[in-house]
Amino acid sequence: MTPAQAFPHPIDGLDPAAGLRRMEGDVDLYTTLLRDFIASEKDAAQAIADALARDDRAAATRRAHTVKGLAGTFGAVRLQPAAQSLEAALRDGAAAGPVAERLAYFEAALAALVDALEAGLPPEDTTTADAEAIDRALLEQVCRELTGLMANWDVSARRLLDSHAPLLRAAFPDDFTALQSALRDFDFDAASARLEAACTQAGITPGA
């Protein structure tokens, strides 16, 4: 079975075969990544526009770069080149007119993909999250394991987090997306700090 056949949700603007190759064929992880992209980046075009309005090209460039990287990871065949073009214009100091044109193209590509994802992905199953949310012993165990892996910059931390995503999302609703994004970018320092803050708020000592 090919990765394209394994992904049962055809979505316009998405090449699941390319995305699943990067996920080692893990459909659940791929689907989770797509859902998290909606949550974290659906307002990216507005964030870039706001950064430009306050004359912060560096922030605008970083956000375009982030979307470009994510789009390339999961095979967003229209959004990735739009983000790349916008990032290049911002990075190279293009005039306001060309930047505005590329931002408009980026905004349209992003909105189209988000709409397609929201329409095409199945509803998230919250049953597991509700059940696991009360399992504090498991939560503490997962946090300890994550802390150890991230301290050693071990890439398997990402797979551990994704395998317990319902539990962690339920336990840390304000921190989960940022934690997963940091791990996805291999920013172990930021991920460790985010997990420590979430654990402290929940009364968990992850290093114990």
Give me the CATH number covering residue 107: 1.20.120.160
Q: What is the DSSP string of 19-64?
A: HHHHTTT-HHHHHHHHHHHHHHHTTHHHHHHHHHHTT-HHHHHHHH
Range of the domain at 197: 127-202
pLDDT of 128 reads: 47
**Residues 57, 93 share a domain:** yes
Confirm whether 52 is domain-assigned: yes
The fraction of the chain above a pLDDT of 70, given in percent, is 90
CB contact at 8 A, 14 and 116: yes
Quick: pLDDT tens for 141-185.
999 999 999 988 887 888 888 888 888 888 888 888 888 888 877
Residue at a domain's end among 98, 120, 142: 120
What rounded mean pLDDT belongs to the chain?
Answer: 85
Give residue 163's pLDDT: 81
Residue 207 inside a domain? The answer is no
- What pLDDT is stored for residue 125 in this prediction? 56
Is the residue at 195 inside a domain?
yes
Q: Note whether 64 and 141 are same-domain residues.
A: no
Q: Which of 120, 139, 170 is the last residue before a domain boundary?
A: 120
For the cut 80, the answer to whether the pLDDT of residue 15 exceeds it is yes
Residue 3 pLDDT > 70: no
Domain identity same for 112 and 166:
no
Report DSSP state, residue 11. -
Domain boundary among 120, 155, 175: 120
The answer on pLDDT for 86 being more than 50 is: yes
Report the pLDDT value the prediction gives residue 46, as an integer from 0 to 100.
95
The segment with the largest mean pLDDT, out of 64-78, 126-140, 151-165, is 64-78
**Inter-residue contact 133 to 171 (CB < 8 Å):** yes
Angle, vertex CA 64, rays to CA 113 and CA 195, nearest 5 = 90
CB atoms within 10 A of CB 118: 12
Residues 50 and 71 in one domain: yes
Angle between helices 44-53 and 57-74 (to 10 degrees): 160
Other CB atoms within 10 A of residue 89 CB: 22
Quote the pLDDT of residue 134: 52
The model's pLDDT over 26-59, given as tens digits with 9 standing for 90+, comes to: 888 888 888 888 888 999 999 999 999 999 999 9
Cα 29 to its chain centre, rounded Å, is 11
Give CA 188 to chain center in angstroms.
15
Burial class (CB in 10 A: 0-12, 13-18, 19+), 101: middle
Closest CA to 64 of 81, 44, 37: 44
Give the pLDDT confidence score for residue 129 in this predicted structure.
Answer: 46
Q: How confident is the model at residue 93 (pLDDT cuts 50, 70, 90)?
A: very high
- Does residue 155 sit in the same domain as residue 114? no
- Give the residue ranges of DSSP H helices in the chain: 3-6, 16-22, 27-41, 44-53, 57-74, 79-91, 96-120, 127-132, 136-151, 156-163, 165-171, 176-184, 188-202
pLDDT, mean of residues 66-73: 92
Q: In the chain, how many domains are there?
A: 2
Structure tokens at 100: 């505005």
